[in-house]
Chains A and B, each alone.
Chain A
Amino acid sequence: MASDCQTLAAGFSDEEAAEGLAITVGLRALFQRPASTSAAVAGLAAQPPELLTVVPPEILSIILSRFEIRALACLAATCRLLWCDAPTPSPVLRTPGLVETELRRRAQARGLHVGSSLPEGALSWVPYLLKGDFYDALRRETPLAVGGDHSLFVNKEGCLHLACRRDAIKAGGVGEPLLGHDWGSAAGASTVSVPPTLVPSMHDTRIVSVASGGGHCLALSAVGEVYSWGRRHRRRARPRRQGRDGRPEEDRDAGEG
Chain B
Amino acid sequence: MAGPRRIETLERVESVAAGVYTSAAVDDRRRLFTWGGAAREEETSLGYELDPETECQLTPKRVDALSEDRVVGVAVGYGFTLGVTDAGTVFSFGDSGHGALGHGLSTSEVLPRRIEALAETGRRFVAVAAGQYHALALTEEGQVYGWGDRDANGHWRNKRTPQLVTALAGICVLLVYAQGLWVLVA
Residues from chain B with a CB closer than 8 A to the CB of A241 are 55
Contacting pair A226 B142 (CB below 8 A): no
Does B167 make an interface contact (CB < 8 A)?
Answer: no
- Is A253 positioned at the interface, with any CB of B under 8 Å from its CB? yes
Q: Write out the residue numbers on chain A whose beta carbons fall within 8 Å of the beta carbon of B10.
A: 225-226
A253 to B35, CA, bound (A): 11
Q: B7 touching A226 by the CB < 8 A rule? A: yes
Contacts A255-B36, A255-B57, A256-B36; A213 near B20 (Cβ below 8 A):
yes
**Closest B residue, CB atoms, query A253:** B5
DSSP class of B's interface residues: helix, strand, loop or mixed? loop
Known: A224-B13, A229-B4, A238-B41. A134 touches B20 (CB 8 A): no
- In the assembled complex, A194 has its CB within 8 A of some CB on chain B: no
Nearest opposing residue in chain B for A130, CB measure: B174
Task: State whether B174 touches A229 (Cβ < 8 A).
Answer: no
Within 8 A of A (CB), among B19-35: 19-23, 25, 27-28, 35
User: Which B residues lie within 8 Å of A145 (CB)?
Assistant: 18, 179
Determine the distance from Cα of A251 to Cα of B36 in the docked complex, in whole angstroms: 11
What is the 8 Å Cβ interface bit string for chain A, positions 106-142, against chain B (1 contact, 0 not)?
A: 0000010101000101100001101100110011101
Nearest CB in chain B: distance from A237 CB, A:
5
- Indicate if B141 sits at the interface (CB-CB under 8 A): yes
Interface centre among A180, A210, A211, A237 (most CB of B within 10 A): A211
Bound state CA distance, A230 and B137, in angstroms?
Answer: 29
CB of A214 within 8 A of chain B? yes
Find chain A residues with CB under 8 A from B39 CB.
Answer: 235-237
Instruction: Show 5 A/B contacts (Cβ-Cβ < 8 Å), sorted by A.
Output: A139-B15, A139-B127, A160-B4, A180-B2, A217-B18
Interchain residue pairs A-B with the least CB separation, the first 4: A257-B36, A255-B58, A227-B4, A211-B18
A-contacting residues of B (Cβ < 8 Å)?
1-23, 25, 27-28, 35-41, 55-60, 72-73, 76, 86, 88, 124, 126-127, 140-142, 170, 172, 174-175, 179-180
